[in-house]
């Protein structure tokens, strides 16, 4: 099974989702199931400047 995740790395909700996915993947019921997780970038605000402003 392949799971594709598209998340913004600075989003706190994406971090919570990542942690929950990690917790779900260690479930003994999934033992023996080949699981591959692919991570892709998703920018919530693609117009944000590269250098942060105070």
What is the structure's pLDDT at 39?
Answer: 92
- pLDDT for 11 beyond 80: yes
Cα–Cα distance measured from residue 38 to residue 52, given in angstroms and rounded to the nearest whole number = 28
Q: Is the dihedral of CA 45, 41, 8, 51 positive or negative?
A: negative
Name the band, by pLDDT with cuts 50, 70 and 90, for residue 16: very high
* pLDDT higher than 80, residue 9: no
Question: For the whole model, what pTM was predicted?
Answer: 0.67
Reported as a single tens digit per residue, the pLDDT across 24-40 is: 988 888 788 888 999 99
């Amino acid at each position: 099974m392949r799971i594709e995740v598209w998340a913004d790395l600075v989003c706190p909700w994406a971090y919570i989702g990542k942690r929950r996915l990690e917790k779900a993947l260690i479930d003994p019921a999934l033992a023996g199931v080949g699981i591959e997780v692919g991570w892709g970038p998703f920018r919530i605000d693609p117009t944000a400047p590269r250098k942060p402003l105070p």
